[in-house]
Structure 1
Amino acid sequence: MLNIPFASLAVVLYLYASLARAAPNPAAFSASLNIVKESINPPRGWVQGPPAPEHHTIKLSIALPQPRFGELEAHLQEVSDPAHARYGQHLSKADVDALVTPHQDSLDSVDDWLAQHGLGDEDMVRSDGMDWVTIRVTIGTAEKMLDTKYHIWIHEESGDVVVRTLSYSLPESVHEHVELVQPTTMFARFKPEMASLHYFPSVPDALEPITDSIAAVLGQQVPSSTTAVSPTCNSIITLECLQDLYGTKGYTPQAADKNALGITGYLEQFANLQDLKQFYAQQLPQAVNTSFTFVPVAGGENSQNLSEAGIEANLDTQYGLGLSFPTPGTFWSTAGRPPFNATLTTPTDSNEPYNTWLDFVLNQTNLPQTISTSYGDEEQSVPLSYAIRACSSFAQLGARGVSVIFSSGDGGVGDGDTDPATTTCKTIDGQNKTTFLPFFPASCPYVTAVGGTVNVAPEVGVFFSGGGFSNYFGRPAYQDSAVGTYLANLGQTYAGLFNASGRAYPDVSAQSMNFSIVSGGRNGLVSGTSAAAPTFAAIVSLLNDVRLASNRSPLGFLNPFLYTQGVQGLTDILTGNNPGCGTEGFNSSQGWDPVTGLGTPKFEVLKSLV
């Protein structure tokens, strides 16, 4: 039986009542609408409901080919390779836009196709690189354009309701000029990667200031030495635990006027300023009167109601900005939930917030040099065309000198389940085979994926640390040596459960267990690679400060550096494993491994290297 929240159920009932309409007239479709662009099997965890109402409005994003992307990729490799003469000579926004601009015949063909459906220039929003066109149409029009049928789909676990289709087609005349159209087959939810918040019982009232007993607990966690890490950091992680563990204590940023750290927020995850102030009062008093720049994307909000404080958003801002203080921070809140609002007579569609954010940042001239994101989903839930296109967007950011950091996921090699009889690690290609489930966007070769550790003397790979091998992306050259060594030692273990030639992740790791945060006015502990990503990103931001203070360029795309010179500045994690999919998962080992990557940061060494 479906467990659907009341609001979502009301929406579904409303939609059923809206179905008294004629089906699209097949005669209205062009006879050339016969080339399938994409077709998928029903996604795991989603149940098909009734046809979508014809009057429902949907915003379609149309991706045109980027014929010069190979050139952009070559530029990215050169400017990111410490051994290359062009290292650090990043491209400008104008340079990148020029490299992703489609051929004129693609622009003309898509314009002609849209014109056939009554859409002109005034109905289109184009990206600066002209490689995306966004239109707003009714479901009825979209179905005619794409020779498809949209339905209501309900996510069994959450009750989320979306409008999607399992396949769509394009006219022969435009087929080669369009890479993808979404939302169509995109069911990924890009959920935050974090465990539930566990509150300290000593704070009975959410609005009371921190009690003396909790202050004492927090005080015990703060190591007294700048070189040793207190054993109590095995129980509670604070800013000072991380500063001591990774060696950033005592470093004062010098380029705060040039540097910035960006943090993404989705799904109504609001970063609460009162919580941030309370967190700073406890752990970083000199920052109490500071904040971050809030940037709404597509109408995104940042409610300051304590009851709406987002655990993910608070974790990311409190640790990302706290560790990199006083480096300025930007918090993007991107609007977008399941598309229906039961309180509206005519539901509106906010589509995929993830793509909305990418479109927004790529159109900005000035960006933070480091961006941290703690959201993702199973790679197989993301259409291959979408994953490739999103990955190319991260390459564009890297070419412009932005370090893009992602959490590696919290399911180990898949679902975290060691029982073969109950594992949910199955393919959705119709064969229902047991398989490890890689995580996207961590599996994109143009991002730096951060796994998780626990304990401080020594650090150990945490059991939920997401890691493995992509089924979509091949292994990049910068990984060949390190990953090849690991695979040689692994032998035939788990043969057939993963793609040994795929992009391997995570790249690095950081602490991810029992982070002390403030949320809703209360102190609590939260765990997940969601904590590791902003932690590592903050250290990267400090390294960018080092370079910018010396009038050098920011680090940009990190991985070629990390897998060569940078590995000297990482602590190799030798123990731990990441169970899932009915197995004990991979093991941490000497060198790179699919639990902790190359290891955790040693700031002073990295500082000397950059």
Structure 2
Amino acid sequence: MRVRLSWVLLMACAFVDAAPSVRSVHKVKETISPPSKWTRGDRAPSNAIIELRIALPQSNFAELERHLNEVSDPFHERYGQHLSKEEVDALITPHPDSVSLVDEWLALYGLRESNLARTASGDWIKVKIPISLAEEMLDTTYHVYTHSSGTTALRTTSYSLPEHLHDHIELVQPTTLFSTFKRQATTFHFDKEEKFTQAVNAPPINVPTASGGKVDASCNTTITISCLKQLYNAVGYVPSAKNGNKVAVTGYLEQFANLQDLQLFYADQRPDALNSSFTFVSVNGGLNNQTVADAGAEADLDTQFAFGLTHPIPATFFSTAGRPPFIPDIGETQNTNEPYLDWLDFILNERNPPQTISTSYADDEQTVPKSFAQRACNGFATLGARGVSLTFSSGDGGVGDGDPDPATQQCFTNDGTNRTEFIPGFPPSCPFVTAVGGTIHIPETAVFFSGGGFSNVFPRPEFQNPAVPNFLKKLPKGTFAGLFNPNGRAFPDVSAQADNFKIFFQGTPGLIGGTSASAPTFAGFVALLNDARIKAGLPTLGFLNPLIYAIGATHPTAFNDITTGNNPGCGTEGFNATVGWDAVTGWGTPNFGRLKDLVTGKFR
């Protein structure tokens, strides 16, 4: 929405007049090194409008995490006893002292309750103000930064807060956040129709763990809903449309899910689903335009396969508006925050969110300030405590998911030292989401682009012991020394097929690949498992990772272990898939039949 320049100037003057005459003593809150691939330009226009997000400390997140661990541990007596929205909100509501002190500080600059927007629990405050006022409040200077891709953002590399507020404000953004939030690098290509059917008359492939022990030969070149159900032992399972189970995918960056494409897909692969659809939910003004040209390959892939696998489970497509880059037009108000924080605000305020949600968008972890990553990750934990399973694609750059140098294919750190290092992605590196890697072909092998590695922000969670140390012991001594953090949260957790998916895009069939395919695929099977649990009178699965690692350790045949392939990147061959958990395919791909028996019985 365009704002009249005269109004902006008047508002800026009003804010300046209301500012305190004596500056409070400020102390630096956060400083980062100038990020690579971003070039600093002119000072930001002083009367451009920016929306600041102010994070207040969540009063008892440690207690929430304790609850999350207990209700997610299949060996704990509280397993499955998810918290209510009210119980979660009570644990993350800021302490009254923090609220009071921050409100007093904002009031010094003329910012009253009518100027503010708060999340349901009050742990985030949002306010739209001129850049000049943001600079005064944060004792900083904003500049126009331009990324090598051509996108721009209004950012700073350091900001300060009054010293007495440091314990009452965790972070303020957008300030030091230089992320390039993007959908995973799906590849889409058209093939002659005969490629889709060239193997139809070939004998089936013997796969002992598949439904009936065989998979159609055509699945080796073209993945369909039928292929996935055969391969992952789910043929014949019929979910309910009316037991309260729901599944969803998220859409960002103007990726729209086309309804005509969905019907073409259903006619081709799920004729029983014809004339059914999903519920569209707009977040922060998100759209779902339906012209042919507006169809998004990512959105089409996510909705067609997640919802094709789970029909007739009620399905939702969330479209969230906003992009991190800010085009510095003085008269334009834009959302400059990470869109998935807007989505988190929305979904955490929902009383009955879908129990399974898949996302195929991410940042490079090193472009996300640690404070921001931790706070966003806490939001994912909050959803898990309420019984929501979150899957994220693990990335499409192998161990070098951070946009390697095109000439050398080397990956460099973003901290000013320019060290060579593997680049993990975020949110896949958050321990409270399930990261899904990729496989290809039948028998399955790791697909070369499967993102995997180790976080530089989040330590290894307890549920990853001893699986991850066992993997590290298998690495030849000195392998990749200094290139990754062996004590970090390791990912992916699991995997699924990730290439040659047949979708319909802008009215035409084609093949698409990426872990953008594996994440909604795995989510689809999670939704089916939730259906089976509800039918058995049990709660939904919620936060998956403790269960996944417990199953991997005690019932490994519930996953199809992938032991071949690797994920090259950063000028290296990357990690190798191996027996048990590995940093290419996690525990492997799902065996739905065996998982269903485990999660509907007494897990021991």
TM-score by length of 1: 0.90
Q: Is the 8 Å Cα contact of residues 28 and 144 (structure 1) preserved in structure 2?
A: no
Q: Helix, strand or coil for the counterpart of 1:605?
A: helix
Alpha-carbon distance in structure 2 between the residues aligned to 1:282 and 1:492:
51
Inter-CA distance 169–598: structure 2 relative to 1 (3 Å threshold): same
**Quick check: 217-226 or 459-468, which moved more?**
217-226
* Match status 1:278 vs 2:269: no
Q: Over residues 23-64 of structure 1, what are the superposed CA-to-partner deviations in whole Å (9 max), with x where a residue is unaligned?
A: x99x97854343111111122222222211122111111100
| Native 8 Å contact 1:339 1:347 kept in 2 | no
Partner of 1:512: 498
8 Å contact 2:28–2:158 — kept in the other structure? yes
Tell me how far apart the structure 1 counterparts of residues 404 and 199 of structure 2 sit (CA, whole Å). 35
Partner residue of 1:487?
Answer: 472
Distance 2:374 2:67 in 1: 18
**Structure-1 separation of matches of 2:377 and 2:280:** 25
Residues 1:65 and 2:50 aligned together: no
2:584 to 577, 595, 601: 595
- Which amino acid in the other structure matches residue 582 of structure 1? G
The question of 1:347 aligning with 2:337 is answered no
Q: Which residue of 2 aligns with 1:456?
A: 442
Secondary structure of the structure 2 residue equivalent to 1:232:
helix
Displacement after TM superposition at 1:236 (Å): 1.1
Q: Which has the higher mean CA deviation after the structures are superposed, 312-321 or 563-572?
A: 563-572
Displacement of 1:173 after TM fit? 2.3
Q: Check conservation: 2:256, 2:299, Cα contact below 8 A.
A: yes
Deviation at 1:195, TM superposition (A): 2.5
Give, in whole Å, the separation in 1 of the partners of 2:241 and 2:289: 31
Report 1:430-445 matches (<5 A).
430-445=416-431
Equivalent of 1:177 in 154, 157, 168: 168
Secondary structure, aligned partner of 1:495? coil
Matched AA of 1:439:
G
CA contact (8 A) 1:223 1:244 kept: no
* Residue 246 (structure 2) aligned to one of 213, 236, 260: 260
The answer on whether the counterparts of 2:186 and 2:515 sit within 8 Å (CA) in structure 1 is no
Query: Which residue number in structure 2 is paired with residue 44 of structure 1?
Result: 36
SS at match of 2:51: strand
Aligned-partner Cα distance in 2 for 1:191–1:251: 35
Which residue does 1:313 correspond to in 2? 299
Equivalent residue, structure 2, for 1:498 = 484
Alignment of 1:302-451 (within 5 A): 302-338=288-324, 340=326, 346-351=331-336, 352-415=338-401, 422-451=408-437
- CA 1:221/1:559 → structure 2, altered by over 3 Å: closer, same or farther? farther
Which aligned pairs between 1:68-217 and structure 2 lie closer than 5 A?
A: 68-157=60-149, 159-201=150-192, 216=197
Deviations 1:365-412 (A, max 9, x none): 110000100011211011100000011001100000000110000110
Write the distance in 2 (CA, Å) between the matches of 1:419 and 1:58. 32
> In the aligned structure 1, how far is the partner of 2:518 from the partner of 2:568?
18
Report the Cα distance in structure 2 between the residues aligned to 1:505 and 1:555, rounded to whole angstroms.
20
| CA contact 1:517–1:525 (8 Å) conserved in 2 | yes
Aligned residues: 578
Q: Which moved more, 1:514-523 or 1:229-238?
A: 229-238
Question: Are 2:557 and 1:571 equivalent residues in the alignment?
Answer: no
Query: 8 Å contact 2:233–2:591 — kept in the other structure?
Result: yes
Going from structure 1 to structure 2, the CA distance change for 1:346 and 1:492 (only over 3 Å counts) comes to: same
Q: Deviations 1:9-34 (Å, cap 9, x if unpaired)?
A: xx9xx9xxx9xx99x99x97854343
| Per-residue Cα deviation, 1:101-134 (whole angstroms, up to 9, x for no partner) | 1111100011001001101111111111111111
- Partners of 2:221 and 2:147 lie apart in 1 by 36
DSSP 3-state at the match of 2:187: coil
Structure 2 letter corresponding to 1:258: G
Partner Cα distance (1:574, 1:514) in 2: 21
* Distance of 2:266 and 2:168 partners within structure 1: 52
- Percent identity of paired positions between Structure 1 and Structure 2: 56
Deviates more, 1:187-196 or 1:138-147: 187-196
In structure 1, what is the equivalent of residue 574 of structure 2?
585
Distance 1:220 1:345, change over 3 A: farther
Per the alignment, residue 237 of structure 2 pairs with 251
Find the aligned partners of 1:462 and 1:452 in 2 and give their Cα distance. 6
Shift of residue 232, structure 1, vs aligned partner: 2.2
Question: Counterpart amino acid of 1:136?
Answer: K
Cα shift at 1:416: 8.8
Name the amino acid aligned to 1:109: L
State how far apart, in whole Å, the 2-side matches of 1:240 and 1:169 are: 56
Instruction: Tell me which amino acid in the other structure corresponds to 2:118.
Output: R
Greater CA drift, 567-576 or 499-508 = 567-576
Amino acid aligned to 1:187 = F
**Unaligned 5+ residue runs, structure 2?**
206-210, 600-604
Does structure 2 retain, via aligned residues, the 8 Å contact 1:341–1:348? no
* RMSD value, Cα: 2.5
Flag the 1:436–1:353 CA change in 2: closer, same or farther, 3 A.
same
Q: Which residue of 1 aligns with 2:208?
A: none
Q: State the 1:449 CA deviation.
A: 0.4
Task: Map Cα deviations across residues 315-347 of structure 1 (whole Å, 9 max, x no partner).
Answer: 0000000011111111110000255569x7711
Q: CA deviation at 1:495?
A: 1.4
The answer to which of 189-198 and 114-123 deviates more is 189-198
Distance in 2 between the 1:530 and 1:384 partners?
25
> Structure 1 segments of 4 or more deviating over 3 A?
27-33, 213-227, 338-342, 415-421
Conservation of the 8 A alpha-carbon contact between 1:417 and 1:581? no
Aligned amino acid, residue 59 of structure 2: P
For 1:588, the aligned partner's letter is A
Indicate conservation of the 8 Å contact 1:194/1:526, yes or no: no
1:95 partner SS:
helix
Match of 2:457 among 430, 447, 472: 472
CA shift for structure 1 position 568:
3.8
AA in 2 matched with 1:426: F
Aligned-pair CA distance for 1:169:
0.7
Question: Which AA in structure 2 matches 1:143?
Answer: E
Q: Give the partner amino acid of 1:190.
A: F
Amino acid at match of 1:384: K
Write the distance in 1 (CA, Å) between the matches of 2:547 and 2:391.
Answer: 14
> Which residue identity lines up with residue 286 of structure 2 in the other structure?
G
1:284-299 to 2 correspondences below 5 Å: 284-299=270-285
What secondary structure sits across from 1:563 in the alignment?
helix
Letter in 2 for 1:161: T
Specify the alignment match of 2:48 in structure 1: 56
Q: 1:52 to 1:417 in 2, by over 3 A?
A: closer
Give 3-state SS (helix, strand or coil) of 1:564's partner. helix
- Output the amino acid matched with 1:408: S
Counterpart of 1:32?
24
Decide whether the 8 Å contact of 1:465 with 1:578 is kept in 2.
Answer: yes
